[in-house]
Structure 1
Amino acid sequence: MSVCSARVCTVDELVERVDDEDRVLGVVVGRRQAVQEGWLHRVAVTLCRDERGRILVHRRSEQLSRFPGLHEVVVGGAVEVGESYEQAAARELAEELGVRVLPRLLFTFLNRSGLSPHWLGVHEAVVPDTVTADPDEVAWHGRLTEPELRSALREWRFTPDSHEAFSRYLAFRTARP
């Protein structure tokens, strides 16, 4: 499904509606409609670390329809029809950062922050120091230590998903043996 404006022509992603238990209902809709109607669907994101443990942070392009110019702690997007969370996370890493790695799914949760409710699959991956960010998606990127990121989350403007995903990521990591 294509959506065109004076500035840009984009293809609306097709997603599967899911229920409160994250079970696929078998209904395929455009992501734009799912957001507008508040229908549950799936989104996969990855927290990217380097070999030294620094976290990749990026600022979204100004031309994006969702949260233009805001910073993010995670890289990701909609889980398309027939994809697993892991497949979607790997696809998004390749599209947005030009890296081909297999992210590890840590947990999922029903996220009610952002534009509409959705199930969020949070992954983790170690990515190389050099990435080729897609300028249509990523205006800037850098790597921060956890203390630097905690400060940035208070001082910079981040997406709602970033705050929620990072908070839950820290809790998940603390709870692991």
Structure 2
Amino acid sequence: MGELVERVDERDEVLAVVSRSDAIRQGWLHRIATIVCRDPTGRTLVHRRPDDASRFPGRFNWMLGGAVEVAESYEEAAARELAEELGVQGRPTFVFKFRCAGAISPYWLGLHEVVVTEPIEPDPEEIAWHDWLTEPELIELVRHEAFVPDAREAFDRYLALRPRPQAL
């Protein structure tokens, strides 16, 4: 049956257990956990997906992540994905979630952050290239056509939620 996920409704409440491929094919909402990785200086990890990846081949992203498994929380999925994709053990902090229309299918996206202080070992099946970018560098890359569109939407929402400096 393939990778199993929970089909959820408009309130992110579980309806059924289905295969991820069916959720995508039928346009059913399911859950995706993502992680934004920062280094101690505040730079953000950005990566390019492998050219043979099944989803968004060769595209850039500022988030790692994947499907939330059955009976798994967003936070548990984020920690699992961090270990699988970067070889890093950590406890990502939940930032927000939103219903994403999705370029491939709709889903709930839970965005998390973590500061990475240990060396990373990117999984070559998930990450073809990576670098740590400053915020101005990231803002410029996000507008590039080779950036994952869903990640661009998450970035725009992330920026909109951040507190703005008070004018004097």
TM-score by length of 2: 0.94
Q: Partners of 1:128 and 1:173 in 2: how far apart?
A: 23
Match of 1:9 in 2: none
Match of 1:19 in 2: 9
* Residues 151-166 of structure 1 aligned to structure 2 (within 5 Å): 151-155=140-144, 157-166=146-155
> 1:99-130, CA deviations, whole angstroms, 9 ceiling, x for partnerless residues?
01100111111000320110000111111262
**C-alpha spacing 1:16/1:55, structure 2 compared with 1 (3 Å):** same
**C-alpha spacing 1:176/1:77, structure 2 compared with 1 (3 Å):** farther
Match of 2:30 in 1: 41
Q: Which runs of 5+ in 2 are unaligned?
A: none
* Residues 6-155 of structure 1 aligned to structure 2 (within 5 Å): 12-25=2-15, 27-128=16-117, 130-155=119-144
Computed over aligned residues only, the root mean square deviation of the Cα atoms, in angstroms, reads: 1.6
Q: Name the amino acid aligned to 1:120.
A: L
**C-alpha spacing 1:58/1:129, structure 2 compared with 1 (3 Å):** farther
**C-alpha spacing 1:111/1:176, structure 2 compared with 1 (3 Å):** farther
Aligned partners of 2:86 and 2:123 also within 8 Å: yes
Q: Partners of 1:121 and 1:54 in 2: how far apart?
A: 21
Match of 1:4 in 2: none
Runs (4+) of structure 1 exceeding 3 A deviation are none
Q: Name the amino acid aligned to 1:23.
A: E
Q: Partners of 1:47 and 1:142 in 2: how far apart?
A: 13
TM-score by length of 1: 0.89
Aligned partners of 1:71 and 1:156 also within 8 Å: no
State the Cα distance separating 1:162 from its structure 2 match: 1.1
Q: Which runs of 5+ in 1 are unaligned?
A: 2-11
Q: How many residue pairs were aligned?
A: 166
Q: Name the amino acid aligned to 1:20.
A: E
State the Cα distance separating 1:153 from its structure 2 match: 1.6
Q: Name the amino acid aligned to 1:53.
A: G
> 1:37-92, CA deviations, whole angstroms, 9 ceiling, x for partnerless residues?
00000000011111000000000112211111101110000001010000000000
| SS class of match (1:133) | coil
Aligned partners of 2:5 and 2:31 also within 8 Å: yes
